[in-house]
Amino acid sequence: MITQSHCYCFSVIMTIYFSLLFHTLASPTQKFCRHDQKDALLKFRGEFLIDASNPSPWNKSSDCCLWEGVKCDDKSGQVISLDLSYTSLNSSLKTNSSLFRLSYLRHLNLNGCNLQGEIPSSLGNLSRLTLLDLASNQLIGEIPASIGNLKRLRYLNLGANTLIGKIPASVGILDELRDLILAANELTGNIPDSLGNLSSLLYLRLSANHLVGEVPASIGNLKELRAMSLGQNSLSGNLPISFANLTKLNHFSLRSNNFTSMLPSYMSGFHKLEHFDVGGNSFLGSFPKSLFTIPSLQTVYLEENQFTGSIEFENTSLSSPKLEILYLAHNNFDGPVPKSISKFLNLRELHLSHNNVTGPIPRSISKLVNLDYLDLSNNMLEGKIPGFLWRLTTMTLSHNSFSSFEKSSQESLIQALDLNSNSFGGPFPHWICKLKGLSFLDLSNNLFNGSIPPCLRNLTDSLTELILRNNSFNGVLPDIFANATELRSFDVSRNKLEGKFPKSLINCKLLQLVNVESNRIKDKFPSWLGSLPSLHVLSLRSNEFYGPLYHRHKSIGFQSLRVIDISHNDFTGTLPPHYFSNWHGMTTLTEEDDRYMADIVNDFIFYRNSMGMVNKGVEMSFERIRQDFRAIDFSGNRIYGKIPESIGSLKELRLLNLSDNAFTSDIPRFLANLTKLETLDLSRNKLSGQIPQDLDKLTFMSYMNFSHNLLQGPVPRGTQFQRQKCSSFLDNHGLFGLEDICGETHVLNPTTSQQHEELSESEEQMFNWVAAAVACGPGVFCGLVIGHFFTSHYQEWFTEKFGRRKVRVTTRAR
């Protein structure tokens, strides 16, 4: 029976209950920070160099469980999570750090904190950790074996540091691990077998290290694995048979290793695979047809291997309907472009360059309505370019044998068009003038003739690269660049163009390269180009330019210039002492030099400038100029007077050619300031006096030529001088000390050896150099450079604007 007292007690209880409930709803949950935890956090923060401009937001008087980056257990008040990612700690983790007093920590995230030094073994004391992220710091040393103490760990990320040594076998103890990320370090040795114990692992990323040996068979135990990235190591051998067990993989990468085996024949078993990348190895065998039966497949990278035979796809309805990107470039595939490629209706990018593919472009490609990017360059294709391709945005068909164009009935969307090195002839294709969105145009190395049409003016507001080199274009070079504010490269070299140099280029403030060499342009030196802030390379070589290089009251800027070749013209006059004072691009190296000559920065085009060279009469081209290359070639003109003193300030200069002019007076001693100089030619001038002994200090020097001057006195005895040919000192009757260079007979009997010397000099003149060491070490003469040194093959470019993937830059002689 319920009494009145019972009712009263019940009423009191309910009042207290609702009061507590109201208080709970009206105020946030209280997390009472333990004093020892607060003390440990504050001492840990005090172990680092705090940026005075960015003080710690932790307030000593407040509850530490409410501090930014700190989370506590609601009941115990113990700190269970510490996330200081991207906080500049600027110091190392100490062995006795107060951090290790936070023994209840489950999550520790110090990603991007500028941590330095080694990972202390005492980190293994935090045995309750389930997440540990120390990525993107400057950690060094080995991964401590004590990492195996963290047996509850599910996420481990030590990537993007400078860790060395082997991956400790103790990592294999962490049987709850789901993510293991050790990428982008300096780790060595084999992949430990013990990783096969991580049966719960979903993501394994060991790329960009120095790992060697074979992939261990134990990897096949990781049956839950979703992603495996082992790229950019030195792994080799065969993929283990157990690899077939990884049927849940959706991402697999072995890019840039040393595999020389064949791909497994059971590829179709990876029925969830989306991304497959084995590019940059030496895999052998025929085209892996079974790979393309996987329904989930989206991207495939097989480029830069040794695959052979024809490209064939399984004649089955099980083909990969989701395939979007296919890279087959740089292999040994032959035969035609397969008609069956039309089954991949979602294909957006197709890369078949640098193979031996033959025949015409199949009309079945017209069914690929989503195709946007097509690269068939460097094959043996021929015939007409089909009209349906004009709906693409990026098309490179260079280095084939295409000879004509098929008209298109649809509006063109082309933004980047590379037809370089084919067999196109006749006049400039006027329909190109209607490609309103065109940004990249390369028609070089073809048989085009006639004039360059003024209608190109219609494109100049969008063009970034205009390359018409090595055709037979003639007539006046049109002055059409008033609106070309995006233009970065302009190359019309090796044609038959006449008239004036186009002054409207002054509007091209982004211009980096100008090359008009080997034409018939007749004009004064365009000193106004010096005002262009980004101009790096200028070649006026082998034209009919005339007059002085210097005009009083006209400042010579060229602040960004790296390479200038104005040789073989008719320039005259003297150069004042301060002539090179503002050429800062040859004085210091900047961060931009890491990008220059490798790609045109910002926006889009990735391409490679090259140098055409003649080595003893044999033409070569090197597809990449060394990034720190600096060169001046004023040879073959009529410049006279003293060599300007300001040239001694160009500390980064690698090549200097003032030959075949009329310079007088002594060879200036300030040339010894050019400590990185590798090539020096002062021949065929009227220089007198002695060769400065200070030039003996130029230890990078590989080639020098002082012949045909009025020099006298001793030849320096340094190694760099003694390695030169006798012809480098020819026709300086006052020079002596040539016995070791020319031989006793030549020195004592100059008349009887005259014929031999003339032959030697004739051989040297075949170089007609512009000499440069291309990717060489100190004192190594790597390429007498020779002839027309920058004919600029623009290849393997792409555009970030169009979402293109960068291809790895390689350097090869063509």
Least Cα distance to 477 among 501, 445, 458 occurs for 501
> How do residues 528-545 score in pLDDT, each as one tens digit?
999 999 999 999 999 999
pLDDT at 747: 53
- Between CA 174 and CA 177 the distance in angstroms is 6
How far is the C-alpha of 786 from the C-alpha of 766, rounded, in Å?
Answer: 8
* pLDDT score of 313 more than 50: yes
Sign of CA dihedral 643, 646, 649, 650: negative
* Residue 573, Ramachandran bin (φ over 0: left; ψ between -120 and 50: alpha; else beta): left
Rounded mean pLDDT, 782-788: 31
> Encoding tokens for residue 504?
């409207």
Distance CA 440, CA 496 (A): 23
725 vs 313: CA distance, rounded Å: 59
Span of 488-497, 614-623, 637-646 with lowest mean pLDDT: 614-623
pLDDT digits (tens, 9 = 90+) for 29-58: 445 788 889 899 989 988 887 665 566 778
The amino acid present at 572, given as its one-letter code, is T
pLDDT reading at 764 higher than 80? no
Main-chain phi, psi angles of 685, to 5 degrees: -125, -160
User: Which of 200-204, 560-564, 621-625 shows the lowest per-residue confidence on average (mean pLDDT)?
Assistant: 621-625
Q: Quote the distance between the C-alpha of residue 285 and its chain's center.
A: 30
For residue 117, the surrounding DSSP H or E stretch is strand 116-118
Query: SS in 3 state form for 165-192?
Result: CCCCHHHHHCCCCCEEECCCCCCEECCC
- Dump pLDDT digits (tens) for 237-270: 999 999 999 999 999 999 999 999 999 888 888 9
At residue 744, the pLDDT reads 62
40, 102 contact by CB (below 8 A): yes
Q: Which of 11-15, 64-68, 463-467, 581-585 has the highest mean pLDDT?
A: 463-467
Query: Counting Cβ atoms within 10 Å, is residue 329 exposed (0-12), middle (13-18) or buried (19+)?
Result: buried
In this prediction, residue 17 has a pLDDT band, given cuts at 50, 70 and 90, of very low
Q: Name residue 749's beta-bridge partners.
A: none
* The CATH fold of domain 420-511: 3.80.10
Structure tokens at 432: 């190109």
- At residue 63 the predicted structure's pLDDT band, cuts being 50, 70 and 90, is confident
Residue 594 reports pLDDT greater than 70:
no
| pLDDT at residue 46 in the model | 86
Q: Which residues contact 289 (CB under 8 A, 6 or more apart)?
A: 312, 313, 314
Identify the pLDDT of residue 174. 96
Within a 10 A sphere around the Cβ of 474, how many other Cβ atoms?
A: 16
Judged by DSSP in three states, 16 sits in: helix
CATH architecture of 265-414: Alpha-Beta Horseshoe (3.80)
- What's the whole-number mean pLDDT along residues 141-169? 97
Measuring CA to CA, which residue among 678, 631, 676, 630 is closest to residue 658?
631
Q: Which amino acid is at 633?
A: D
From 3.40.50, 1.10.260, 3.80.10, 1.10.3470, which CATH number describes the 546-767 domain?
3.80.10
295 within 8 A of 269, measured Cβ to Cβ? no
Query: Reduced to 3 states, what is the DSSP secondary structure of residue 340?
Result: helix
- Report the SS3 class of residue 504: helix
> At CA 149, angle to CA 147 and CA 154, rounded to 5?
75
Residues 97, 122 contacting (CB under 8 angstroms): yes
Tell whether the torsion through CA atoms of 187, 598, 276 and 279 is positive or negative: negative
C-alpha separations of 434 from 372, 390, 413 in Å: 19, 12, 10
Q: Are 397 and 377 in contact (CB under 8 A)?
A: yes
Of 223, 210, 131, give the one whose Cα is nearest residue 167. 210
Let me know if 766 is exposed, middle or buried by CB neighbors in 10 A (0-12, 13-18, 19+): middle
Give 349's strand partners: 325, 373
CB 625 within 8 A of CB 791: no
Length of the chain: 814
DSSP 613: E
Return d(Cα 218, Cα 223) in angstroms, integer. 11
**Poorest-pLDDT segment among 139-153, 313-327, 483-497, 759-773:** 759-773
Q: Give me 416's structure tokens.
A: 């980047």
The pLDDT assigned to 626 comes to 61
Report the run of H or E that residue 12 belongs to, with start and end: helix 4-26
| Mean pLDDT, rounded, for 344-367 | 96
> Contact 640/573 with Cβ under 8 angstroms?
yes
Q: What is the pLDDT of residues 668-692, one digit of tens each?
A: 999 999 999 999 999 999 999 999 9
pLDDT confidence band for 76 (50 / 70 / 90): confident
Q: What does the block give as tokens for 479?
A: 């002055």
pLDDT at 521 (0 to 100):
97
Q: Are strands 638-641 and 440-442 parallel, antiparallel or unpaired?
A: unpaired
Q: Give me the pLDDT at residue 467, please.
A: 97
Q: What is the pLDDT of residues 358-412, one digit of tens each?
A: 999 999 999 999 999 999 999 999 999 999 999 999 999 999 999 999 887 777 8
Q: In 3-state terms, what secondary structure has residue 786?
A: coil
pLDDT at 812 over 80: no
Confidence of residue 554 (pLDDT cuts 50, 70, 90): low
418 burial via Cβ count (<10 Å: 0-12, 13-18, 19+):
buried
Encoded tokens for 664: 């007088």
**Residue range 506-519: mean pLDDT, rounded:** 96
Nearest to 329 by CA among 348, 314, 307: 307
Are residues 287 and 265 in contact, defined by beta-carbon separation less than 8 angstroms? Answer: no
DSSP per-residue letters across 309-321: EE----SSTTS-T
Least confident of 226-240, 334-348, 609-623: 609-623
Residue 760, pLDDT above cutoff 50: no
User: What does 694-756 look like in DSSP terms, one character per residue?
Assistant: GGGG-TT--EEE--SSEEEEEPP-SHHHHTS-GGGG-S-TEEE--HHHH-HHHHH-TTTTHHH
Confidence at residue 756, expressed as pLDDT on a 0 to 100 scale = 47
